[in-house]
Amino acid sequence: MAFVRWARVVRPPWLGWRFVAVPMVVWLVLTTTGVAGLSWIQRDSREAAAQRFAQRIGLMGDFVTGYVTDVIDRERAAGQAFLANPGVGNDVFTRTLTAFGYPAALLLDDRGRVIQVAPDNPALVGRDMTGQYAHLRTAVAEGHPAVSGVVRSATRGVPVVGFAVPFDTGSGRRVFSGAMDIRHNQLSSYLATALSLKGVRIQLVDTAGAILAANRPLPAGLPTLPGQDPALAAALRQHPTGRYEEGGRAWRYASLPIPGTPWQLSAAVREDVMFASLAGSQLAGRVAVATAALVGLLVVGAVARSRHSWRDLQQAHAQMADFLAMLTHDVRQPLGTLVAVGELMLEEWPELDEDAKRRYVRRMTSSGHRAGDLVGEILTLAQLDAGALVARPIDVDVTHSARQAVAAFGADPARPIAVVAPDECTALADPAHLQLILGNLLSNATKYGAPPVTVSVAGHRDRVEVRVSDNGEGVPDAFVPQLFSRFSRAEIGVATTKPGTGLGLYFVRQLATANGLAIDYQPNQPHGAVFTLTLPVPSTPATGHHAVAPVHASH
């Protein structure tokens, strides 16, 4: 027997590490899984944002394609209606040109010779222009519309883009070719407002790299993409979409060809701008994982200090499971709300009115407070499990403590909490723990009960009783045995409609036990719940106990 007792008291050092190994491995696996999962989610979110960017470029490409098609159709219709007569006067040609807003235009016969030109230049009339401009040669020789890259205007010498459209007349085929100034055109106006991302670069470029339209002012001369943005130009030569580095920053880009033209639409934006809307969710995810890891580490630490047997090792496993269940549901829910509302606000901010913005901010604030309260409860639970909360009972005026707790609780002014107590009533308790106990009981009464809520203090010869009562539906009979258990919540009644962790009354029982107090539940009459906290009195009880009228706290 002596050997057995010695063996139970003296334990090799390595045996304690063996007891800690399993929860530590579980913590490492779960933390690693959480970090990996968060990284995957964030990577997926970033790729989704990049895909949305590429989709927007695709929509812009559809607009440009539609614009080109519309110009060609309008030129063909105008040519057949006004420019098909054997003789086309200068005034008729000028009026037709004005309707398109072109700074210059040509009308050619079926051999590519100039019939009319604007601005007026008699020296060009009769000259074959197909050798000078490839798009005119295509329209005359092949009989289908052609769009040029950036070329010099035959009449003004400025950089333009030409739309050459053939049409049939009684005198044979003719080609109406209008020129669009690259400095001032509808495409640049559209690109300037098509995408609201800060610092985004959008441009239409021909096969030679010349810029014919952009979302920003172009310099004098003949601007080119290699000259304006060499890093993007180099990236586009490698692949139509992707990312590149410039000036120590990462950029994302996308491009696509415009059908029926020698044009390419491209856009580039810094990654920090593209992913700005994800910053809130990424931070919240990191905070959630870090909180879970910290709490898990606290649990492992508590396990390391309290391992004395295999049975203790198995309570630890149950606690870890409880923690994980709560973290995956109760902590994740407010953080998820916070992230979702934040992303929604970032996406819809320009369209939201002030009332909607305030409503969203209130939801985010409420979720943030909820997450903060949960973290506070988790840390308190970890302190309880680690034995870090030590009670230091002293003589306390329970009447003053009750009124102080009600005032700090901040009840709804329309539904004040009544305090019925003598002028003074002394008992033994840790003042800070007593405030925590009363605060949790008040929270429980207002959350799950119904008004009126009353706090009554009564002094007896050997004890002081504090009763917190409400007039709600009370506690279901089947749930009463688990009322003060850890993570315990009723599966019927009002509790199923309220968020919570099931820790409030557990904290009350643990703190009461640590202070040598007693907590009890009884149904209220005719309905509701009554929680009675019993405190011991000092060896020399204080005097002056007499009842007063109810005091209503409406803080």
What average pLDDT score do residues 423-427 get? Answer: 93
Rounded Cα distance between 441 and 475, Å, is 14
Reply yes or no: is the peptide bond before residue 119 cis, omega within 30 of 0: yes
Cα dist from 286 to 280, 293, 335, 369, whole Å = 10, 10, 11, 18
Rounded Cα distance between 93 and 82, Å, is 8
Contacts of 26 by beta carbon, 8 Å cutoff, 6+ apart? 317, 320
Rounded Cα distance between 103 and 210, Å, is 19
Number of H helices, E strands in the chain: 15, 18
> How does pLDDT run across 444-462, given as a tens digit for each residue?
888 888 889 999 999 999 9
- Given a cut of 80, is residue 501 above it in pLDDT? no
Segment among 32-41, 213-222, 391-400, 525-534 with least mean pLDDT = 32-41
Residue 69 pLDDT grade (very low, low, confident, very high; cuts 50, 70, 90): very high
Portion of the chain with pLDDT greater than 90, in percent: 40
| Under 8 Å between Cβ of 168 and 140 | no
Residue among 105, 230, 83 nearest 171 (CA) = 83
Q: What amino acid occupies position 445?
A: A
Residue among 147, 141, 113 nearest 127 (CA) = 113
User: DSSP readout, 509-525?
Assistant: HHHHHHTT-EEEEEE-S
> How does pLDDT run across 157-198, given as a tens digit for each residue?
889 999 999 999 988 899 999 999 988 888 999 999 988 889
Residue 527 pLDDT: 87
Residue 419: beta bridge partners? 455, 551
Residue 493 pLDDT: 58
Q: Which residues of 49-84 are buried (b: 16+ CB within 10 A; e: fewer)?
A: bbeebbebbeebbeebbeebeebbeebbebbeeebe
pTM of the model: 0.49
> How does pLDDT run across 382-394, given as a tens digit for each residue?
666 666 567 889 9
Residue 5 pLDDT: 30
Segment among 45-49, 98-102, 212-216, 490-494 with least mean pLDDT = 490-494
Q: Phi first, then psi: give them for residue 327, nearest 5 degrees.
A: -65, -40
Q: What amino acid occupies position 222?
A: L
Residue 223 pLDDT grade (very low, low, confident, very high; cuts 50, 70, 90): very high
What average pLDDT score do residues 308-322 get? Answer: 55
Specify the higher pLDDT residue, 231 or 540: 231
Rounded Cα distance between 518 and 535, Å, is 7
- Given a cut of 60, is residue 18 above it in pLDDT? no
Q: Which residues of 143-164 are buried (b: 16+ CB within 10 A; e: fewer)?
A: eebbbbbbbebbbeeebbbbbb
* Rounded-to-10 torsion of CA 448, 449, 453, 457: -70
> How does pLDDT run across 268-309, given as a tens digit for each residue?
999 888 887 655 555 555 555 566 666 666 666 665 565 555
User: DSSP readout, 329-344?
Assistant: IIIHHHHHHHHHHHHH
User: DSSP readout, 154-190?
Assistant: TTT-SEEEEEEEEEEETTEEEEEEEEEESSS-HHHHH
- Given a cut of 90, is residue 376 above it in pLDDT? no
Specify the higher pLDDT residue, 367 or 523: 523
Residue 547 pLDDT: 35
279-306 helix and 354-386 helix, angle to the nearest 10 degrees = 10
Rounded Cα distance between 233 and 11, Å, is 71
Residue among 548, 550, 552 nearest 423 (CA) = 548
Residue 450 pLDDT: 86
Residue 483 pLDDT grade (very low, low, confident, very high; cuts 50, 70, 90): confident
The secondary structure of residue 218, as a DSSP letter, is: P
Residue 446 pLDDT: 85
User: DSSP readout, 354-378?
Assistant: HHHHHHHHHHHHHHHHHHHHHHHHH
Residue 47 pLDDT grade (very low, low, confident, very high; cuts 50, 70, 90): confident
